[in-house]
Structure 1
Amino acid sequence: MATEYTDHTESNGKQPRTARGLKTKRKLLDAAALEFGEKGFHEASITGITQRAGTALGSFYTYFDSKDELFSALVKDMSARVKSHAASAMTEWQDALEREKLALEAFMNFAREHKEIYRIIDESEFVDPASYRLHYEETAKRIHERLQEGSAAGDFRGPLEEAHAWAIMGMNVFLGLRYGIWSEEKSPQEIAGIANGILAGGIAAGKG
């Protein structure tokens, strides 16, 4: 029988106030990514997380009230890291097409380095539905904003709707799963090039 979970957010009183506190919280989040990624939400334990982090059990409760709350924070953290990783890769580009290519390459590289992301995000659909939905809504919003900027620059036809962004995101997610998690038989550059070709010309045969 499915268990119903509610969304959890951290209280202001649990925010780290020192560099040491930030470092400890980062250790817990990184350890949680490994624990949840390896065992899944239900089998993962707070003890296992603190052991991986090399911190005392009490340190956990300094920043999180429960495993559920940590999981919610981890989903938001991983989403923010994907955003940051992609942004750092899109500092220089010639046109909107190249920008999208760089974004997908960055995501592919991130997925290969953090393979646990797929299990964690997928599991959040049931453990923390609000964070799951927010992750994809925010990702699609960023893509849509880039598409609109590309249209304004004359690189893309317009107007491009929100649905276009969701379609591109869906393509990127499954390319990351196939060539970032299940295998690495093609490089991120090759995969991004294939996806870029679809954006550039589509796959419909020319007429006449």
Structure 2
Amino acid sequence: MSEIKENQLTSKGMKTRQKILDTAEEIIGEKGYFETSIVEITVKAGVAQGTFYNYFPTKKSIYDELVYQMSSSLRYQIKLAMEEKSSFEEKQRAGFLAFFDWVINHRNLYSIIQQSVLVDKNLYRWYYEKIANGFIKSIEEAIDIRECKPLNPETIAYCLMGIGQFIGMRWVYWEQQPVPDNVLDEVMEVIFNGLNREGEN
């Protein structure tokens, strides 16, 4: 049976498709891509296998859609949070906080994205490059108005991404709790004032 395109779906069809995606996110996030079967997804979602194939031709196709959808949702939330702020520092703080808040409700992001190293390396790279592009744009704007040192925006972007990735992993993914305020304060201190004690009061 041919796949139904998203723009052809009725309201009910959209809900069914999303239910299948949400179930796949949960199972693949917990068990892993290679250990998850379409049968498991359909049983837990409460739909027939034929219904699954109406929306997704293969297990890989639903995995790809999970990565695309999570990426889009995450980047949108970060963009909204940053748009409300004026200075570069305020934007970065808001962006980090939006990321941590989003991951609280999508903890399987870590597992699903890391699996893509084995499932599809190009997809793995695409995911991080999309995140990096948002950072780069913000950094370039800050450099233009002299709120950021004129360093390579891509280098800065990946440094900031690394900080967000592992701070989120430490508290949200491992501890299943929001990132403490004092931790976010220290992250901003490191980013904007560094580790050098010169000039310290």
2:84 equivalent in structure 1: 92
1:113 to 105, 111, 118: 105
Mapped to 1, the partners of 2:48 and 2:12 lie a distance apart of 14
Stretch deviating more after TM superposition (90-99 or 150-159) = 150-159
Change (3 A) 1:185 1:40: closer
Contact 2:93 2:188 in 1 (8 A): yes
Q: How does 1:56-95 map to 2 (within 5 A)?
A: 56-95=48-87
Q: Which structure 1 residue ranges, 5 or more long, are not aligned?
A: 1-10
- Give CA-to-partner distance per residue, 1:94-129, whole Å, 9 cap, x none: 311111111111111122221111110000111121
1:168 equivalent in structure 2: 160
Mapped to 2, the partners of 1:60 and 1:154 lie a distance apart of 52
Mapped to 1, the partners of 2:180 and 2:113 lie a distance apart of 21
2:184 equivalent in structure 1: 192
Mapped to 2, the partners of 1:12 and 1:149 lie a distance apart of 42
Matching of residue 25 in structure 1 with residue 17 in structure 2: yes
Mapped to 1, the partners of 2:28 and 2:3 lie a distance apart of 25
Matching of residue 154 in structure 1 with residue 146 in structure 2: yes
User: RCO higher in 1 or 2 (8 Å CA, sep ≥ 6)?
Assistant: 1
Matching of residue 205 in structure 1 with residue 197 in structure 2: yes
Change (3 A) 1:55 1:186: closer
**How high is the TM-score relative to the length of structure 1?**
0.87
Stretch deviating more after TM superposition (20-29 or 137-146) = 20-29
1:15 equivalent in structure 2: 6
Contact 2:104 2:177 in 1 (8 A): no
- Count, aligned residues: 198
**How high is the TM-score relative to the length of structure 2?**
0.89
Q: Which structure 2 residue ranges, 5 or more long, are not aligned?
A: none
Matching of residue 44 in structure 1 with residue 28 in structure 2: no
Percent identical pairs in the alignment equals 31
